[in-house]
Amino acid sequence: GAGVSQSPSNKVTEKGKDVELRCDPISGHTALYWYRQRLGQGLEFLIYFQGNSAPDKSGLPSDRFSAERTGESVSTLTIQRTQQEDSAVYLCASSLVGPDEQYFGPGTRLTVT
Amino acid sequence: AQSVTQLGSHVSVSEGALVLLRCNYSSSVPPYLFWYVQYPNQGLQLLLKYTTGATLVKGINGFEAEFKKSETSFHLTKPSAHMSDAAEYFCAVRGTGRRALTFGSGTRLQVQP
């Protein structure tokens, strides 16, 4: 079946603009995660959705970052008033509730100029 | 709080040689441990995971890892490197209370002919 998909694959934006990144999880996966990968670094957790529960937003770096998820479907990560330090690859992952394996999408490479 | 340390941001081996990528973790609860691989311009792919049971875990592509609680380590090994193993490898940990993964900073493996 289809894996996790993300769009766009690349996004170049000017400092101060807002951006929206999209993630389509694997069908039937109730858990969805957003991570950020800065150049030469590991992945940083941003936010986690599980079914209808309140999301775990503990990893969001500032109030410029927000995310939504419609049911157990698509998620959108929004970054307002982008800064150069927001440049990174944003990765989405999904999983079933019980098993621990997270399946990752190919990521969106965000460049803020 | 959890953390992961990967010793060596770059490791170079000859084709056919042993691959050893080091990972040490800290966790206040019994951890779940993972190794992911990231090929150039691709998403992360799970190599193997330790949750409970046997401490020697076998994964895909001939890789294996051993969970050593006394050493808080989960080193990744492969007896004989292949050119196709060249990639970036990430160790990750998850405690029982939080589903998001905490990643190490990654080790880039080069395989020399």
Which residue of B99, B102, B105, B108 is the best one to mutate when testing the A interface, meaning the one whose CB has the most A CBs within 10 A?
B99
Residues A44-92: tens digit of each pLDDT: 999 999 888 889 999 999 999 999 998 888 999 999 999 999 999 999 9
Tokens of B37: 């691989």
Separation CA A55–CA A53 (nearest Å) = 6
B28 Cα to chain A: minimum distance (Å): 18
Looking at CA atoms only, how far is residue B91 from chain A in angstroms?
A: 9
Q: For the segment B10-34, what is each residue's pLDDT rounded down to a tens digit? A: 999 999 999 999 999 987 777 889 9
In this prediction, residue B10 carries a pLDDT of: 95
* Interface subset of A 14-43, CB within 8 angstroms of B: 31, 33, 35, 40-43
Dmax (CA) for chain B in angstroms is 44
Torsion angle, alpha carbons of A47, B66, B108, A9, to 10 = -30
What is d(CA A54, CA A68) in angstroms, rounded to the nearest whole number? 11
**Cβ burial A6-33 (10 Å sphere, 16+ → b, else e):** beeeebebeeeeebebebbbbeebbbbb
Distances (CA, A) of B31 to B38, B88, B92: 22, 22, 10
